[in-house]
Chain A
């Protein structure tokens, strides 16, 4: 088990992606014998490019993805440089990890509840300040340029990049570096930008690429916040792949391939921009300017970060308010009365969906933990740590757009008669749960002092016994935290559930997305709250258990 674990993990994780990509590319070239496609040609791509509004869809995905990533990156880097070590910084760090466990679907629904013309924000200031007795006819949510979609993405990407930046900074002597620069007369932000950023940036690249790939190919968030005339490319790909006219599967596959190229070109654009900025930056650093009058910039970054946090918190508050609302008409600032209507009305499906979410999350996380622990234990025993290329492999599921390979996976599942089965959904979740569990657990595990192991072994314990009675109990906290991360990741997954579940397994996330457009807001809010409650419960349980387990016996 221990020796085969890395190979098995790769097979479980990368295998479906590779097979899925093949299963997507072949139909894109016209090869899908089940549907009568038996010759390879570029005809399908010609049909794809003839789709109305394709260019607009492609541009939307590209601009929204790249733009939101850039804004989130600048925000995070600027804020850390501006506010490092201040009280606001500590508040933001505390706020941001729970925010990270909020599924993007939940956040998008809350944001729409907040900023739509009939949303809470408009209700709070109407009619006394605006004169609006009815919601104004303003195109805010689903605007043709994807601005509200970009806003939603920024809300979700900022906490992720912030946490990644904090983790990367952990291993650097930031305080000493900044202090040294300050002693040479550099202003605080300038010191951080010139001395810290160049060191920390390389560690941020993979997370940034993952964010770029996600943002250019998001489907669930785009369904909720993105335009529809036309929709971003990824949404249209999913529609083509699900069209009752089976022939549309070909165009869908070609679209999926285009989607992968689009993500790749966004990453390439980023890399080009990165090089240009690095060149300019080197000149800037060499010029030796100490930086003056930073206070305005600093205040701007702190305000912007505060605004992002506030927007996220208010979005969630809108969700909570709706989940317990009775009748609530525009322009009332608050519902007429509180009611549990939202929870009761659809109680049966709500409970079913919660169970489906929980069972898939627990199963995929359990498998992931076993595999990851086996991999890491293998490292401990052999004393070898894999190089940076292994990091890249871990990021493969996060960088290859989901629509690009999930259709291929679905075809394989159909052939294996596994589509729609719970097991298939668990496996498809495992592809995405594994890397996050690994990233979360690898650091603490590799820092673990192996002398404990050596002592236990010298007392005659077998390696297995050492693992279960020494290593795991001492690492209980990071293991359980990694498990909670796994549950959070699984709960939020939309497309893998949709494709592997063949629409038959309905989780909180798929239900929330399918109801968000027109369902009763109170019911949708209830789904959203449960979506947060599941990962939150996992994190709390992890905290509780690890305290109990790590107590000396």
Chain B
């Protein structure tokens, strides 16, 4: 009996909430959202692999508690995909409200998957006051995530740009284009490596080389079509494979072994095994020098034509229990106060999404006064940002790479 009644209630609530679901868009004025947010708890599902990021999120928790009376709980993930599948599982189980995740740190494939499966609340981002300060023109990746429009479903949080580290004890002048890099590696065999794809930084290196060598960068922005076979994709990527074919024999360990990920490669640089490392955070080298992981002779550079860059975001699942508080936290994350602290290399060193030139005087001066860190390039030196290829290229590139370079000789 009880079960039948429960079932009826579930069906009824599904019926009642259905129109709200399809509407989705946030229509309430921001002041009402802030008023509802007080006293709510936000379960922030964010990758927890970096002590500095974790400490920063702790600080955010203190601030939103003081400002809005919101309790922030950092659920430390080892892989963001876990959170995506959790929301998907909740939707499959009919849990359309009171979900266990309120806010997710997200971008790229994971965002594309959540957007495609209607797993996100919104659009709401345009209504957040701090979003007006975001540099959507100068930093187009704040509204286009891996060539997928964000449509107000995720709020930009920080900027990442592919950056090369080198140890000036071993490298006189850094090679600033693909040919120069190949020449350097040929002349200094065994001292260059990149993480093994499908590690995301290894894959980013492939995308970077592809962007530098292909004649058809325009095709990378569109979805990959292999219905008629690989031929079209191969013709676009042929220069990449030719480049890697000539690079690999001179790699660290002759290209027969690869470092696992960014951290592994950085350790190799710290040990002096290699002379370069890669990063997606331009301030990573400075932080690693500070922590004693890298010698203080390490510096960074970018390639002349620009490097791959993207933005990382936060998003609110469709069934979040504390939607209002989650949106308020996301707004705080975009505020000058939070963005300033995040960019401080002594705290995290993650670049801001805001248009600093348009900020109020005090904030602008504060940003200008931030130390850069001994090995960090200024935003001007970082140069142009190349867009990420469409997410559909990733899997194909990785599979091709595996067939060519990881199938044994």
Contacts and interface: CB of A to CB of B under 8 A. Distances in A.
Chain A bound to chain B: yes
Contacts of B79: 503
A142 B257 contact: yes
Interface in B377-409: 395, 402-403, 405-409
Contacts of A506: 78
Interface string B30-59: 000000000000000000000100000000
A53 interface: yes
Contacts of A139: 253-254, 256-257
B408 A503 contact: no
Interface stretch (B13-21, B65-73, B158-166, B265-273): B265-273
Given A244-B81, A244-B109, A514-B78, A135 B271 contact: yes
7 contacts: A52-B406, A139-B253, A139-B254, A229-B256, A503-B79, A517-B261, A518-B266
Contacts of B402: 52-53, 230
B408 A230 contact: yes
A142 B253 CA distance: 10
A180 B51 CA distance: 67
B42 to A, nearest CB: 19
A519 interface: yes
B273 A52 contact: no
Nearest to B257: A142
Given A144-B256, A518-B266, A330 B408 contact: no
The winner among A133, A135, A326, A518 for most chain B CB atoms within 10 A is A518
A503 B271 CA distance: 30
A53 B408 CA distance: 6
A227 interface: yes
Contacts of A57: 408
A147 to B, nearest CB: 13
Interface residues of B, number: 42
A190 to B, nearest CB: 43
Interface in B70-95: 78-79, 81-82
Given A118-B271, A144-B256, A519 B408 contact: no
B111 to A, nearest CB: 13
B391 to A, nearest CB: 11
A117 interface: yes
A449 interface: no
A175 interface: no
The winner among A135, A345, A346 for most chain B CB atoms within 10 A is A135
B257 A518 contact: no
A137 interface: yes
A143 interface: yes
Given A118-B273, A230-B407, A518-B263, 10 more contacts: A52-B402, A52-B406, A52-B407, A56-B408, A133-B272, A137-B189, A137-B190, A229-B408, A230-B402, A518-B262
A52 B253 CA distance: 21
Given A52-B402, A503-B82, A144 B408 contact: yes
B264 A518 contact: yes
Interface string B188-220: 011100001000000000000000000000000
Contacts of B62: none
Interface in A127-148: 133-135, 137, 139, 141-144
Contacts of B261: 517-518
Nearest to B275: A134
B72 to A, nearest CB: 17
Contact of A228 (B196, B267, B270): B196
Nearest to A510: B78
Nearest to B403: A52
A507 B196 CA distance: 26
Interface in B242-283: 252-254, 256-268, 270-273
Interface in A104-161: 117-118, 133-135, 137, 139, 141-144
A345 B265 CA distance: 20
A345 B256 CA distance: 33
Given A52-B406, A137-B189, A144-B408, A118 B257 contact: no
Nearest to A520: B293
Q: What are the 6 closest A-B residue pairs judged by CB atoms, nearest first?
A: A518-B263, A53-B407, A137-B190, A518-B264, A56-B408, A517-B260
Contacts of A117: 273
Contacts of B189: 137
A110 B295 CA distance: 24
Interface string B115-136: 0000000000000000000000
B51 A229 contact: no
Contacts of B267: 518-521
A467 B175 CA distance: 77
A263 to B, nearest CB: 21
B292 interface: yes
A65 B261 CA distance: 27
Given A137-B252, A244-B109, A330 B272 contact: yes
